Amino acid sequence: QAALPLVINTWHFENAAGAAWSSLQKGGSVLDAVESGCAQCELEQCDGSVGFGGSPDERGETTLDAMIMNGDTMEVGAVGDLRRVKNAVGVARAVMEYTEHTFIVGESATIFAQNMGFMSEELSTNQSIAIFSKWLQQNCQPNYRKNVFPDPSKSCGPFKPNAKLWRPKHPKGNFDPSSHDTIGMIVIGKNGQVAAATSTNGATHKIPGRVGDSPVAGAGAYADSTAGGAAATGDGDIMMRFLPSFLAVDLMRNGAQPTVACKMAISRIKKYYPNFFGALICANTTGGYGAACNKRPGFSQFPFMVVNPQTNQPQLQK
């Protein structure tokens, strides 16, 4: 089943896999392919959790996180808390190609994007406004956080109701796996060149400024053309503490098969957070691939897409 080139991405995002594959067919580099795959999801708003109009934060705004990594040169470009620009993975690529930096965040990332010629647009949609208003009505009752913030109507995010004012904490187990489907993609070229990328709108009702695992190199994704690539999806607030993508790639470097590497990286997290939700996809430089996940309600396996010369078109695997 191992064959090159290879495109593999999280979830059932078939058109993303197709876009990456056709970029390769047209002679695009592995970076072009992985960027166009993730950009396809940003356009389609895959599952409402990639691109504009999803995961409104506690003030109702959608913000984006994305990264891209070149496994030949180990260059990375990333953006976090990006506002009012839809093509987050494109901006991440611009950070990598045109700057000496790795990671640009917030309003300054927006200004950088505008300077690079990306269009500035509203990321809210009727749907994201509806999600936000419903949540506000259900969870943001006047006394919900009376003791935490003097004016709960201005800020009513995912804090513990009884948290001390000076050190509010994100409640554990707040992550809803049914509504969080980041795209993470790995592309391996026919000579074993590795690229990886992610794009997401993060976690719903997050505290403004929250950045997840997806744009963090080694957490959301990692690529190294001497070993392989990995990409993650799930509860980024937990997962980023373990750099699971880096760990999986390093395990493959030491000879682990992709499925084993994915499983071992997931179990490392499980030791501390047995109920966390998360999944990892892994691929090596000979085109072998695999995945592993923890606690997806109702499913024991994790769906992902694969394209290689044997499938010749995006194929759903579990």
Residue 236 burial (CB count, 10 A)? 28
- Please identify, using beta-carbon distances, which residue of 199 and 285 lies nearer to ligand SD4: 199
Which residue from 118, 83, 96, 38 is spatially nearest to 210, judged by alpha carbons?
Answer: 83
- Within residues 151-180, the interface with ligand SD4 by CB under 6 A covers 180
Nearest distance from residue 150's CB to ligand SD4, in Å?
29
Q: Does 234 bind ligand SD4 (CB under 6 A)?
A: yes
Nearest distance from residue 15's CB to ligand SD4, in Å?
18
Based on the residue annotation, tell me whether 286 is a catalytic residue of this protein.
no
Alpha-carbon distance values, 118 to 4, 107, 165, 204 (Å): 33, 14, 39, 25
Alpha-carbon span 305 to 16, nearest angstrom: 9
Q: Does 233 bind ligand SD4 (CB under 6 A)?
A: yes
Nearest distance from residue 209's CB to ligand SD4, in Å?
13
x/- letters, 186..205, toward ligand SD4 (CB under 6 A): --------------x-xx--
Alpha helices in the chain (DSSP H): 14-25, 30-44, 88-98, 106-115, 126-139, 236-239, 244-253, 258-270
- Please identify, using beta-carbon distances, which residue of 40 and 49 lies nearer to ligand SD4: 49
- Please identify, using beta-carbon distances, which residue of 216 and 256 lies nearer to ligand SD4: 216
Nearest distance from residue 254's CB to ligand SD4, in Å?
26
**Residue listed under structure tokens 């993508």:** 245
Nearest distance from residue 61's CB to ligand SD4, in Å?
15
- Please identify, using beta-carbon distances, which residue of 240 and 256 lies nearer to ligand SD4: 240
Instruction: For the chain, report the end-to-end CA distance as a whole number of angstroms.
Output: 15
Q: Does 181 bind ligand SD4 (CB under 6 A)?
A: yes
Contact 86, 42 (CB under 8 A): yes
Q: Does 182 bind ligand SD4 (CB under 6 A)?
A: yes
Q: Does 214 bind ligand SD4 (CB under 6 A)?
A: yes
Of 10, 62, 63, 182, the active-site residue reads 182
Catalytic machinery residues: 182
Point out which residues bind ligand SD4 (CB under 6 A): 49, 180-182, 200, 202-203, 212-214, 233-236
